[in-house]
């Protein structure tokens, strides 16, 4: 019994000592905890307030604080830091720190309370992607009104469905309804007096040598939005907008955003017509999309002197119409290849156009003089033929947000072959010669005195010209760090051509022999030039940008 009693006393003593040790271990303590929150990608501070909570293992809130924004010296993003300090009162040896911000993934950091004061140093948190963000919306009331346009920062976005158009209208009709928009005869667009440098389709170039292709052939019903903004250059995308060369302004673009149902499909339309005296008109257009490829083609021909659609803007007058008969034949293709991540883009187009103008005029005049009437006849025949070929191609390694590198190369080539033949015959008579069908041939062959001719003037000219032009430019920009960057730039062109003009004239009167004049004016030319250089960009803080450059050129 004594042995059993001793064992029970020993066990009671151990339990008593253990319970006192546990009570000592669970005594509440005040622990000071501090640290700094940073972005895990940039390793810099965050320009906003971050909420910090200390939570026990059983999710009890122990303490909380806001991690405010401080600057080391200047209000620059490289000197931001977000410190926090908490006093946690708890008997536990472990707690959890909860770091929350609307734009960052909520972080849970386990902390061991093994010291009375803890410095956790830099604590990185990850920024949410746009797909991870959630937005809690308040209750809204939807009405049936449609807003024509909204301003989003520097971008003006027009809702195409807010404009009333005739059925079958093309893009030009939609653009002309935009507030302050105008389209001139050459297809140039002005909005509130500002010139639109580029017309784009879903953020990409499309027949950039001839934007009339889009305006005349893209159905207005396929467009969802029209955005107007300044397109950032490669330098601006990599180094920031304030790093752009002050002498070069970012181009103002009009970007056409297609409706979702037309972004991965084909759009095609065509029309044809014919009339009396062998008049005709035809047009066809097609473009197709996939996730990485876009193809487009068009053709246009007519012999009704059409160069644009008259009457819609109210600026067309009969005097602006071409004289004679002008036949136009034009066609082109456009392509675009993009990588799946949209970082690489290869696009280009090729356009061919041929125009034939035939202008014939006849004039019969009677001049009433004191000595009697004098009669004159005039024949003018003009034939012009213009051929133009153009192609351009762009290769671009697109910088995205946070990229340290971007590059773009543009190549373009154009060729023109123009010919013109002009013949003119004028004669004055004492008596009315009438209008015999062979009168011009008689004047050309000789001096028909039996028609009481006073004088005659014959003139003919023939001109030919050819021109070849090649252009190139490139821009490669590197971001060294948050304050420094480097751009390597270059551009150049090569031009070669010739011009030949033959001019013959004959003047003869009844009392003098014929005076014949012949002139020939041949001319050949060629030129080239190029420029290469580099720019170093230094941004000591958000207020200043220092950008020395060096380059050389030759021509």
**Mean pLDDT throughout 392-409?**
84
Mean pLDDT computed over 61-71: 76
Asked if the structure places residue 352 within a domain, the reply is yes
- Out of 90-94, 122-126, 406-410, give the one with best mean pLDDT: 406-410
Average pLDDT over residues 360-366: 92
Q: How far apart are CA 444 and CA 421, in angstroms?
A: 17
Across the range 424-433, mean pLDDT stands at 92
**Residue 138 pLDDT:** 65
| Residue 134: CA count within 13 A, CB half-sphere | 4
pLDDT (average), residues 56-64: 84
The helix/strand/coil state of 237 is helix
Question: For residue 310, is pLDDT > 50?
Answer: no
DSSP 129: P
Task: Write the DSSP assignment of 24-55 as a string of letters.
Answer: HHT--EEEEEEEEEEETTT-S--SS-EEEEEE
Nearest to 85 by CA among 54, 55, 59: 54
Alpha-carbon span 235 to 126, nearest angstrom: 27
pLDDT at residue 375 is higher than 90: yes
pLDDT tens figures, 199-221: 988 888 888 878 888 888 889 99
Give Cα 298 distance to the centre of its chain.
21
Choice among 3-7, 135-139, 315-319, 416-420 with the minimum mean pLDDT = 315-319
8 Å CB contact between 231 and 248: no
Q: Is 132 left (phi over 0), alpha (psi -120 to 50) or beta?
A: alpha
H/E stretch holding 336: strand 325-338
Report whether 166 contacts 177 (CB < 8 A): no
Residue 23 has pLDDT above 70, yes or no: no
Assigned domain for 260 exists: no
Neighbours of 436 (CB within 10 A): 10
C-alpha distances in Å from residue 254, one per residue of 113, 181, 354: 60, 11, 29
Question: Is residue 292 in a domain?
Answer: no
pLDDT, position 437: 84
Q: What percent of the chain is predicted at pLDDT more than 70?
A: 85
So what's the pLDDT on residue 144? 53
Q: Is residue 105 part of a domain?
A: yes
Closest-CA residue to 359 (of 387, 376, 377, 379): 379
pLDDT at 20: 45
**547 contacts 243 by C-beta, under 8 angstroms:** yes
Asked if residue 270 is part of any domain, the answer here is no
Q: Who wins on pLDDT, 490 or 4?
A: 490
Domain end position, chosen among 125, 140, 167? 125
Cα–Cα distance measured from residue 346 to residue 397, given in angstroms and rounded to the nearest whole number: 9
pLDDT at 5 over 50: yes
CA distance 147 to 170: 21
- pLDDT-derived band at 401 (thresholds 50, 70, 90) equals low
413 inside domain:
yes
The domain that holds 37 is classified in CATH as: 2.60.40.3330
Average pLDDT rounded to a whole number, residues 463-474: 96
* Domain span holding position 87: 26-125
Tell me the average pLDDT of the chain.
83
Nearest to 97 by CA among 31, 43, 41: 31
Average pLDDT of 266-287? 92
Closest residue by Cα to residue 486 from 554, 541, 404: 404
DSSP-assigned beta bridge partners for residue 48: none
CA distance 457 to 453: 12
Q: How far is CA 297 from CA 214, 282, 539, in A?
A: 11, 14, 46
- The number of residues in the chain equals 555
Q: Is residue 360 part of a domain?
A: yes
DSSP string, 361-389: EEEEEEEEETTEEEEEEEEEEEEEEEEEE
Task: Give the DSSP H/E element, type plus range, for residue 217.
Answer: helix 212-217
Count structural domains, the chain: 2
Final residue of a structural domain among 106, 125, 144: 125
Q: Is residue 550 part of a domain?
A: yes
pTM of the predicted model as reported, rounded to 2 decimal places:
0.65
CA atoms of 157 and 471, how far apart (whole Å):
33
Q: Which pLDDT tens digit goes with each residue over 433-449?
A: 888 888 888 888 888 87
Maximal CA-CA distance, the chain? 170
Question: Residue 290's pLDDT is what?
Answer: 81
Which of 64, 95, 125 finishes a domain? 125
The radius of gyration of the chain from alpha carbons, rounded to an integer in Å, stands at 40
- Measured between alpha carbons, how far is 458 from 422 in angstroms, rounded to an integer? 11
């Amino acid at each position: 019994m004594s042995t059993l009693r001793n064992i029970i006393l020993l066990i009671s003593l151990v339990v008593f000592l253990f319970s006192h040790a546990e009570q000592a271990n669970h005594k509440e303590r005040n622990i000071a905890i501090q640290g700094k929150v940073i972005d895990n990608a940039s390793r810099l501070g965050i320009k906003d307030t971050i909420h910090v909570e200390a939570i026990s293992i059983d999710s009890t809130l122990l303490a909380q604080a806001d991690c405010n924004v401080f600057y080391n010296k200047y209000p620059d993003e490289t000197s931001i830091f977000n410190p926090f300090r908490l006093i946690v009162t708890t008997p536990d040896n472990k707690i959890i720190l909860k770091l929350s911000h609307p734009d960052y993934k909520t972080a849970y950091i386990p902390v061991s309370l093994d010291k009375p004061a803890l410095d956790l140093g830099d604590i990185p948190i990850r920024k949410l992607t746009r797909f991870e963000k959630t937005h809690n919306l308040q209750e809204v009331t939807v009405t049936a009104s449609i807003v024509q346009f909204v301003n989003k920062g520097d971008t003006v976005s027009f809702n195409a469905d807010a404009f009333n158009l005739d059925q079958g209208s093309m893009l030009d009709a939609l653009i002309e309804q935009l507030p302050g928009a105008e389209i001139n005869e050459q297809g140039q667009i002005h909005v509130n007096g500002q010139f639109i440098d580029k017309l784009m389709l879903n953020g990409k170039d499309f027949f950039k040598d001839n934007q009339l292709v889009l305006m005349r052939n893209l159905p207005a019903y396929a467009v969802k939005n029209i955005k107007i903004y300044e397109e950032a250059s490669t330098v601006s995308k990599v180094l920031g907008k304030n790093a752009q060369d002050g002498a070069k302004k970012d181009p103002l673009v009009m970007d056409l955003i297609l409706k979702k149902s037309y972004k991965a499909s084909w759009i095609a339309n065509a029309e044809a017509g014919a009339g009396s005296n062998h008049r005709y008109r035809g047009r066809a257009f097609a473009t197709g999309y996939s996730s990485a490829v876009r193809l487009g083609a068009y053709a246009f021909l007519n012999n009704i002197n059409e160069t644009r659609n008259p009457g819609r803007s109210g600026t067309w007058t009969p005097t602006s119409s071409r004289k004679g008969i002008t036949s136009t034949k034009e066609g082109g293709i456009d392509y675009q290849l993009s990588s799946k991540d949209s970082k690489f883009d290869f696009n280009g187009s090729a356009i061919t156009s041929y125009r034939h103008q035939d202008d014939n005029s006849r004039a019969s005049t009677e001049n009433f003089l004191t000595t009697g009437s004098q009669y004159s006849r005039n024949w003018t025949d003009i034939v012009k033929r213009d051929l133009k070929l153009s192609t351009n191609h762009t290769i671009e390694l697109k910088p995205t947000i946070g990229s340290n590198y971007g590059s773009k190369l543009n190549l373009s080539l154009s060729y023109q072959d123009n010919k013109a033949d002009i013949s003119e015959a004028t004669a004055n008579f004492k008596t009315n010669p009438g209008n015999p069908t062979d009168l011009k041939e008689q004047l050309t062959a000789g001096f028909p005195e039996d028609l009481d001719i006073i004088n005659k003037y014959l003139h003919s000219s023939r001109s030919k010209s050819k021109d070849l032009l090649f252009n190139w430019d490139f821009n490669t920009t590197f971001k060294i760090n948050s304050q420094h960057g480097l751009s390597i730039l270059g551009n150049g062109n090569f031009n070669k051509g010739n011009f030949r003009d033959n001019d013959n004239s004959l003047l003869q009167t009844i009392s003098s022999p014929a005076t014949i004049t012949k002139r020939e004016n041949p001319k050949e030319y060629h030129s080239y030039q190029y420029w290469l250089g580099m720019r170093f960009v230094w941004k000591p803080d958000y207020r200043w940008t220092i950008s020395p450059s060096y380059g050389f050129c030759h021509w």
